[in-house]
Amino acid sequence: MSRAEPALDLVTTATLVATAAAMLVRPRHVAAVARSPLLPAAGRQAKAAARGLARQFAPPAPQTRLGRLISSLWPSPAVTQTAGRRLNASAALLSFSVLADSAVQHYRGSFENRAMYTPLAVGALTLGASLFGMTDRRAARHFLRDTIYAVAAVSGLTGLGFHAYNILKRPGGLSWLNLFYAAPIGAPMALALAGFLGRGAEQVRDTPPFRRPGLLRMPAGRTLAAVTAAGLAGTVGEAGLLHFRGAYHDPFMAAPVTIPPIAAGLLSAAAVCPGRAINHLARWWLRLTALIGFAGVGFHAYGIARNMGGWRNWSQNVLNGPPLPAPPSFTGLALAGLAALSLIEEESDG
């Protein structure tokens, strides 16, 4: 064996290794070289091998029309999970509003009826379940959360009956004076809405693959939009009643009775006839409604500061109002509306 043969073997081996590496890393380039007319006819087998390797390592071809149609028929799991967590956040804000507001108002009423402790306990449980749902990324309902939400819905409807009885038993019955100063008629519905939206969150999260989310045998997006719009209407009515009692002495008191109704109307329109323009408008008005909920806390804090003694006399002025925990209900319902809108867009895309 001459000294040149080991060197030739080394060069040949290095060339083969380099060629194999090139076929693995840059199969398209190898295929282009293999198709070159400069290659002799004896390299046809190498051409075929290079083309096969290129097809194997090439990126997937663009999705066919049939594939795009099939993928548009069902929402992706990420959409339902995001909508579920938004609904959990909505239930969390509503339950926190109920918990704080009922604690203040029922304390002012000295917890005359033992049932007045119920919204505190149920509101705390609903708040905990909702915070858990916001951090839970599993695409399945949770039995304990679902049960707590059902209890919250029943408790809220029961509280509505108690508040109606409190108004009707007073002298004068159903009158403006009793609506102004008796138990707020619409307050317990916030707890019921937290339960309804929380249960909706669990059902949306539990949607099986290749199935569209549904509630009450109807599309989930449109059902949640109807519930949210009704909740916004009730909350606007409650705010309008109490702000009318305050004679709208501040121009900003008109904001919660003008902007949320427009958001509710646009959300209802998006549920009936969805379109890019109407969905865009509804989304921005819902975001503005959510901002009103946060800003309302600041305005109510300023209203408490204007009372005799201001915040130095907080133990009395917080009881006298305006209620600090009430405005976040608008934010909670706006989040529910945004979740419903995302589901409506998925439904309309199909």
User: Model confidence over 258-275: pLDDT tens digits?
Assistant: 999 999 999 999 988 888
**Average pLDDT in the 27-56 region?**
48
- Give the pLDDT score at 311: 87
Residue 323 has pLDDT above 50, yes or no: yes
> What's the rounded mean pLDDT across residues 69-95?
74
Among 14-23, 161-170, 193-202, the range scoring the smallest mean pLDDT is: 14-23
Section 105-131 average pLDDT? 90
pTM to 2 decimal places: 0.74
**pLDDT mean over 339-343:** 90
Q: Is the pLDDT of residue 334 over 90?
A: yes
Res 129 pLDDT > 70: yes
- What is the chain's mean pLDDT, rounded? 80
**Residue 192: per-residue pLDDT:** 93
Is the pLDDT at 1 greater than 50? The verdict is no
Quote the CA–CA distance of 47 and 30 in Å, as a whole number. Answer: 9
pLDDT at 123: 93
pLDDT > 70 fraction of the chain, expressed in percent and rounded: 76
Name the residue with higher pLDDT: 81 or 78: 81
